[in-house]
Structure 1
Amino acid sequence: MKKKLLTLLPLMAILTSCQDFLNLKPAYQISDQSFYQNQNDFEAALIGLYSTSRGLYNSSIIHYLTELPTDNAEIQWAGPTADEMQMDQNAVIATNAFILSLWNTCFYTISQSSNLLNRIDAVAFDQTAKNRIKGEALFLRALSYFYLVRLFGDVPIVNQTFTSPAEVSASGLARKPKNDVYKQIVDDLSNAESLLSITLNADKTHPSQMTVKALLGKVYLTQQNYDLAATKLKEVIDSKQYSLVPDYKSLSTNGNTNLTETLLEIDYLSGQSLGNNYSSLFTPANNSMAIFPNNQQGAGRIVPTLDMLNAYEAGDVRKAISVADSVLLITGKKTYNRYGQKFVDFKATDLADGSVAFTILRYADVLLMYGEALNELGKTVDALPALNQVRQRAKLPALSGLSQADIRLAFERERRVEFLYEGHRWFDLVRTGRAKTVLNAHYASQKLSFTVEDFELLFPVPQTEIDQNPFMKQNPGY
C-alpha cells in the first residue's frame, strides 16, 4: 500500500447496509394484496426506481468516482474532506462514504427492480404497458450492476424477492464472479431489448429499445467482445433515430433536455429541491467572483486539472465551452482560476439546485464506441469515419492514415475532451488497460508522489458490508 498524507476521520454510514437494503418494503412489510394490485401500483413502483437510481447523479457520486480519481479533475479548495482527498489521490479506503453511497444506491435499485419484476406477471393488466414497465426495470437493474461490476469486480447477484429477514440471511449473499455478473447484465438488457418499443421515446429520462442496444454495446466493449459491440452499436446508428447536435454547448447548458443526440438523461428542476449540485462542485471556491446571481461562491471540489485544459487541440471549440482558466471578479477584473462549465447552471440562485440536465448516454458515445470496436477488429480504415464525425463538430480536421495503435490513442484523446464531466474517464482508462500508465504519468508530471497500483483498479468493498455480512470478502490489497 503506498504512503499518502491523509487525515483519517471517523465516517458515519450514510445509507443502509447490505442486509438492510434487502429487507425491503413492500417485500415483507407490505403484502401483495395491499399494494401490487393493478397497473398504477407498478407505475408507482417504477417511479420509485427512477427516484432511487438518480441519486447516483444528483449528488455527483458518479463524478467523485469517475472524474476526481483521474487526470481530468482535482480538488481546488483548502478544506476537503478525507473522503474527497482519498478520491483525488487514489488512496481510497473501505470506509469511504462515496463508495458506500454508490454501493447502496445501486443495490437498492437492484432489489427494488427485482421486487417489481418478480410480482408483475401475477397481476393482469395491459400487456404493452406491462412490457414497458418490465423493460425499464430490467434496464435499471442492468445499469446498476454495470456500475458495480466495473468499480468493485465480483459482487452479489440479488434477483430474488425476500419475504423475511431469515430468507436474506439464508441466501448467503456472497460475491459472485464478475463473469456471472456480466451474464446477468447481458441477460437483463437482452430481455429489456425485446420488451421495449423500437419507437423513439420522446421522454429521454426513460429508455427506449435503442437506449438498451447502446448500453449493451458498451457492456460488450467493456468485455472486449468487439464483434458483438460493433453489431449492437451499428443497430443504433442504422436506426437513424439520433444525430449529433450542431452546437456542442447545447448539450450541457440550460434547456438541454430531449435533444436529438441524447439517448438517456437525468432531468432537474430548480426551485423545488429537485436540482443538482454541479454548479457548486465544478466552480471555484472564490468568494469574490461574479459569475452567478448574487455573486455566489462555488466549492472547487471537482475542477479541471491543468493537464485537462492542455488536452484540447488548437481550434477545438469544446475547450471554451467545457472549461475556463479565469474567473470574473466583483471588481470587474479577472483572476486565474480553473473551473468546469459543462452542466453548470449560471442562472441558478442556489448552486446546489441547478436545472441543467445530466446526460448518461448520447450518440457521440455510440459513434466513438463503434469506431473503437472496429479498430480492435482490425478495421482501422472503417474506424476513422465515426471518430471524424465527432471531430468535425468540434471544428477539428479529419484524421487519416493512422495505424491501429495510433487510432487507439486517438479514440482515447477524443473521448477525454468530448466527455469531460460525463462520468467516462475512469471507466475508459480501466477498460483499455491504460489507467496505471496514464495516471501515474500524470502524477509524475505534477511531481506528486501518488501512484495507482494494480489492486486500486477496483475500489474496496464498503467496510460496513464486510462487518455485517459474513459472506462478504474484501478486494485484495485493502
Structure 2
Amino acid sequence: MKKRILAILFLTATLYSCKDFLNLKPEYQISDQGFYQNQNDFETALVGVYSTFRGLYSSSNILYMSELTTDNTEIQWSSPSADEMQMDQNGVTATNAFARAVWNSCLYTISQSTNILNRIDAVNFDQTTKNRIKGEAQFLRAFSYFYMVRLFGNVPITNETFSSPAQVAAADLTLRPKEDVYKLILSDLTSAETLLPATLVADKTRASQMTVKALLGKVYLTQQSYDLAATKLKEVIDSKQYSLVADYKTLSTNGNTNLAETILEVDYLSGQTAGNGQTLGNNYSTLFTPAITSMAIFPGNSQGAGRIVPTLDLTKAYETGDARKAVSVNDSVLLIGGKKSYSRYGLKFVDFKAVDPGDGSISFTILRYADLLLMYAEVLNEQGKAADALPYINQVRQRAKLPALAGLAQADLRLALERERRVEFLYEGHRWFDLIRTGRAQTVLNAHYASQKLNFSVQDFELLFPIPQAEIDLNPKLKQNNGY
C-alpha cells in the first residue's frame, strides 16, 4: 500500500511541478462536473496536496535555503552552479532557481488546499472523514504559508478557486503584510486543531491534532507570543504521544519510519519508480557526501556531489563526548583500495545501502519531539523561567551523553539553546529559521564568514529572500523586496 501511495504522490508532484503558479493550462484544469464528487475524489486530491508539499524536501530545495545559507554547511564540489554559490555565499538574486522552486511548491500546495476547502462542504459524505480532510488541507496550507512568510516576508493571499486566466487577472494577488499572513496561518491551524483526531496517527506522513499543535507552538514562538507557545507545546508534551528514541542514530538511518520521536515525516522508497520512470527515493546521499570518484562508501563505489557538506566550524561545534557527532558527520572517506582521505561529509539521512546515492530510502523528519522540548525550553527561558527550562534541554543532552546544564542565566541559556539546536538538527532545515527567529543571523553568519576570511556578509535586506523575478514577470502585481 505504501508503495502505491508514494507512486501516486510522485505522479501528482510531476503533474504540478511543470506549471507556473496560476499560469493555468486547460489540459490541467479540473472540472467541477468531473471531479470533487465524492469522498474518494477528495482523498485523492489530498494525496496530491501532500505530494506537492513533500516536494520541498524531496528536491532538497528547502535545505539549500535553510542549511547551505548558514554556518552549518558549504559547497565542496569544484564546479557548483551559480544558484548554489548564491545560497552558499548569501548573495541570492531574484533569478535563483532554488528560491523560485520553494516559492512555487508552497503556492502549489496553497492552491490545491484551497481547491479542496472551497468544494468539500458542497459534497455529502461521512462528516468525520470530511473533517479530517479539511483539517489536513488547512494544516498543509498553513505550513506552506509559514515557510513563505519566514523566507519572503509579504506574500500573496487568496482564498479563491480559479477556473480561468481572466479570474486570475482580476484577483487581488498583491503582496499582503506578513501580519495578515500570520492571521491566516493561525486561523487555519486553530481550525485544523478542532477537526483532526486527538489520537495518534500511525502513519506519520499525515497530520493529526498533535501535529497541528506542534506547528502552532512553533508559529507562536516565531511571533514571540510566548504564553500561547507555551500552552501548545506543553499540550503536546503532556499528551505523551511522543518520546525521545534512545539512540540518536536511528533518527536518520535505514528503517527510521514512524518512530516514537517523529511528529511529521516524508517517506521514500529506493529502487522504485513512478509511471514516468522517476525515482521514489531522495537525493540526500548525493548532496551530503563528497564528489570523489575513488570513494568506496556506497555499493558500486558511487560518488557523491559534495553540494551540502558540513563546515569545519560545524564539526567543532560538538562538545567533547557528544554522541551525535560520530553519527552526524565524518571527515575520513574510505577509498577504493582501502586507504582513507580527509574530506568532510554528512552521515544523517545518507543511505549507505543505496546502489544509486540519488535514490535513497531514508525518511526525512520535518517535526520531531526533540524540537518540541527545545522550543519549550526556549519559551520558558524567554518568560524569565530559566531554571524551569533547564530540564527540557537536559533531556536532549542526556540522550547525547552530555552532562546536564545548571545555573544558567537567561542570556547564557539562550546561547546554550542555540548551540544545542545547531548540532541536534543538522540537515533538518532549522538553522536559518532559528537564527532569524532569535535575531542572531547577521551576528553569527558574518562572524563565520570573517573567520574564514571571506569577503561577503549578510546585509539587512538579505534576512528575506527575493521574490522570484519569473513570478513578478507572470504577475506584475507582485513587487520586489527592498534591496534586490
> TM-score, normalised on structure 1?
0.95
Distance 2:172 2:142 in 1: 21
The answer for the alignment partner of 2:436 in structure 1 is: 430
2:23 corresponds to which of 11, 20, 24: 20
Amino acid in structure 2 at the alignment position of 1:421: Y
For residue 276 of structure 1, report the CA deviation from its aligned partner. Answer: 0.1
One-letter code aligned to 1:352: G
Report how far residue 457 of structure 1 moved.
Answer: 0.4
Deviations 1:263-290 (A, max 9, x none): 0000000111100000000000001111
Shift of residue 160, structure 1, vs aligned partner: 1.3
Match of 1:338 among 322, 332, 344: 344
CA distance in 2, matches of 1:130, 1:19: 27
Q: Is the 8 A contact 2:204 2:263 kept in 1?
A: yes
1:323-376 residue CA offsets vs partner (Å, 9 max, x unmatched): 001101112011100000000000001111100000000000000000100100
2:315 maps to 309
Q: Is the 8 A contact 2:114 2:160 kept in 1?
A: yes
Matches within 5 A, 1:128-147: 128-147=128-147
Among all aligned residue pairs of Structure 1 and Structure 2, give the percentage whose two residues are the same amino acid: 75
1:399-442 per-residue CA deviation (whole Å, 9 max, x = no partner) reads 01111000000000000000000000000000000000000000
Distance in structure 2 (CA, Å) of the matches to 1:129 and 1:17: 32
* Aligned AA (1:453): Q
Alignment partner of 1:210 is 2:213: no
Letter in 2 for 1:175: L
Pairing of 1:154-173 with structure 2 (within 5 A): 154-173=154-173
What amino acid is aligned across from residue 366 of structure 1 in structure 2? Answer: L
Equivalence for 1:374: 380
SS across alignment from 2:176:
coil
- Cα distance in 1, alignment partners of residues 107 and 419 from structure 2: 33
Distance in 2 (alpha carbons) for counterparts of 1:37 and 1:84? 44
Q: CA deviation at 1:31?
A: 2.4
Count, aligned residues: 462
1:69 aligns with 2:75: no
Separation (CA, whole Å) in 2 of partners of 1:58 and 1:105: 11
In the alignment, the residues of structure 2 paired with residue 207 and residue 193 of structure 1 have an alpha-carbon distance, to the nearest angstrom, of 10
Residue 13 of structure 2 is matched in structure 1 by: none
**In structure 1, the residue corresponding to 2:156 is in which secondary structure?**
coil
Q: CA deviation at 1:66?
A: 0.3
Structure 1 residue 468: Cα displacement? 2.0
The 1-side partners of 2:216 and 2:451 are apart by: 37
How does 1:47-86 map onto structure 2 within 5 Å? Answer: 47-86=47-86
The CA distance in 1 between the partners of 2:87 and 2:30, in whole Å, is 39
Can you list the C-alpha shifts for 1:123-156, whole angstroms capped at 9, x where unaligned?
Answer: 0000111111111111100110000000000000
Q: Secondary structure at the match of 1:56?
A: helix
The C-alpha deviation readout for 1:144-194, integer Å capped at 9, x for no partner, is 000000000000012211232111111121000000000100000101000
CA distance in 2, matches of 1:86, 1:254: 32
Question: Residues of 1 paired with 2:59 and 2:157: CA distance?
Answer: 26
Q: For 1:439, what is the secondary structure of its paired residue?
A: helix
Shift of the alpha carbon at 1:25?
7.5
Do the aligned partners of 1:15 and 1:100 also contact (CA within 8 Å) in 2?
A: no
What does 1:189-204 correspond to in 2, within 5 Å? 189-204=189-204
Instruction: Indicate conservation of the 8 Å contact 2:72/2:314, yes or no.
Output: yes
Question: Where does residue 241 of structure 2 map in the other structure?
Answer: 241
SS at match of 1:34: coil
SS of equivalent residue, structure 1 residue 185: helix
CA 1:15/1:477 → structure 2, altered by over 3 Å: closer, same or farther? farther
Aligned partner letter, 2:360: G
SS at match of 1:263: strand
Retained in 1: the 8 A contact 2:136–2:192? yes
Is the Cα–Cα contact under 8 Å of residues 158 and 172 in structure 2 kept in the other structure?
no
Structure 1 residue ranges (4+ consecutive) displaced by more than 4 angstroms after TM superposition: 23-26
Aligned to 1:445: 451
Q: Name the CA distance, whole Å, in 2 between partners of 1:88 and 1:123.
A: 48
Deviation of 1:241 after TM superposition, in Å, equals 0.4
- The equivalent of 2:268 in structure 1 is 268
> What TM-score, normalized to structure 2?
0.94
**Partner residue in 2 for 1:353:** 359
Distance between the aligned counterparts of 2:21 and 2:48, measured in 1? Answer: 19
Aligned-pair distance for 1:18? 3.7
Once the two structures are TM-superposed, the CA of residue 15 in structure 1 deviates from its matched residue by: 4.8
Match of 1:264, SS? strand
